[in-house]
Structure 1
Amino acid sequence: MPPSDLLSRALHDPVDPPLRPLPPRVAELLRSLCAPPRLAAHVRAVHDVAVQLVDWVERRCPELGVDREAVLFGAATHDIGKTVHIAELSGPGSAHEEAGRELLLAHGFGPELARFAGTHGAWADPAATFEDLLVSTADKVWKNKRVPELEDLVIARLVQETGRQRWEEYLALDEFLGHIGDGADHRLAFQASFPVHV
């Protein structure tokens, strides 16, 4: 199958259970960069989880005023630097983070959006916004990886905004992330069905 067909399938093919499509401008950017199909499948899965996470936060804490579009863009582009550092699709490395930020800036995206490519692995930074934390959480929980330190930061922001007890926010977030984690095998299988190299 030609590489462009594989990329198109990763971006648009129906999946069971369904995965939302990426924002059109992100899908177009991935096409223009000849992104590896596995990368497209990965960011699609993380973006889908980010939609669920933002929906949950907006229901639970509407007064928080989450920048929904920024979180969804961040989730859809967080690993875009792996179009440059392809080896990091199947191995460790963080060179893709700064490369992704620079790539997005070079393609006309503002620093307020490009930052997610660089911050998704730096959630412990005191300057991390709530939106940064949500992108980082989506990037972990899509595969059912739970990071207590990251989740504690999310809980602290919720407690600060809602005035509810920490244990209430902990239980609610834990239950919700557990529900998302239940779909991890399907998302992982979807990602694995696409090659890193074509």
Structure 2
Amino acid sequence: MTTDTVLWRAARGTGDSPLLPLPDRVAELLAPLCSPPRLVAHLRAVHDVAYQLVGWVEEHCSAVTVDREAVLFGAATHDIGKTVHVAELSRPGSAHEEAGQTLLLEHGVSPEFARFAATHASWTRSDVGPEDLLVSLADKIWKNKRVPELEDLFVAGMTEATGRPAWEEFLALDEILSRLGNEADERLAFQASFPIHT
């Protein structure tokens, strides 16, 4: 199987995967970067979760203004710096964050969309908004990892926007995160089915 075929399957292939395909713009960006297939599969899994989270916010909490396109692009590219720092696909590291933002800017992506590569692991920064928090949530819950500090920040934003009590917003968020987390094994298996190197 050729590298192009493996990348296409990871980014857009249907097969047995219920995951949404990556947006064309993102798939076209990843291919010439020789992106590792496992990275592409990971980005697709996080993008799929982000899509569901944005839909939930729009339905449950319309008072929270969210740029859907930015969240989905951010989720689909948040780890793109791992094309440069491939070792961070299998071990911890943060060098990919700044590298990813730089890479996206060099490829003509606007700063508003490139920022997610740098903010997805830094949700306590003063300049993060609901879009950044949603990308961060998607990047955690895709594998059923819960981060109370991150969830509390998002709940605080929802509470401020809706005026509803924090406990009520937390219960609603907990319900969607639990549902998405219960589907993590499928996403993990999908990602693991692709090699780090081609």
Same fold flag (TM > 0.5): yes
Amino acid of the structure 2 residue aligned with 1:103: L
Indicate the SS of the match to 1:144: coil
| Percent of aligned pairs with the same amino acid | 67
Match of 1:142 in 2: 142
TM superposition shift of 1:14? 1.5
TM superposition shift of 1:16? 4.2
How far apart, in 1, do the equivalents of 2:126 and 2:169 lie?
A: 21
Q: Which runs of 5+ in 1 are unaligned?
A: none
Indicate the SS of the match to 2:4: helix
Contact 2:17–2:190 (Cα < 8 Å) also in 1 = no
How far apart, in 2, do the equivalents of 1:119 and 1:67 lie?
A: 16
Q: Which runs of 5+ in 2 are unaligned?
A: none
Q: Calculate the aligned-residue CA RMSD, in Å.
A: 0.9
Match of 1:111 in 2: 111
Bigger drift between 55-64 and 11-20 goes to 11-20
Q: Aligned pair in 2 of structure 1 residues 26, 17: CA closer, same or farther (>3 Å)? A: closer
Amino acid of the structure 1 residue aligned with 2:65: G
Q: Give deviations 1:118-165, integer Å, cap 9, x for gaps.
A: 000101112211110000000000000000000000000000000001
How far apart, in 1, do the equivalents of 2:110 and 2:13 lie?
A: 30
TM superposition shift of 1:15? 5.0
Q: Which runs of 4+ in 1 moved over 4 A?
A: none
Q: Aligned pair in 2 of structure 1 residues 136, 97: CA closer, same or farther (>3 Å)? A: same
Indicate the SS of the match to 2:22: coil
TM superposition shift of 1:17? 5.4
Match of 1:177 in 2: 177
Alignment of 1:71-90 (within 5 A): 71-90=71-90
Q: TM-score, normalised by structure 1?
A: 0.98
Indicate the SS of the match to 1:127: coil
Q: TM-score, normalised by structure 2?
A: 0.98
Match of 1:40 in 2: 40
Number of paired residues? 198
Q: Give deviations 1:36-74, integer Å, cap 9, x for gaps.
A: 100100000000000000000011111222100000000
Indicate the SS of the match to 2:63: helix
TM superposition shift of 1:12? 1.6
How far apart, in 2, do the equivalents of 1:17 and 1:84 lie?
A: 27
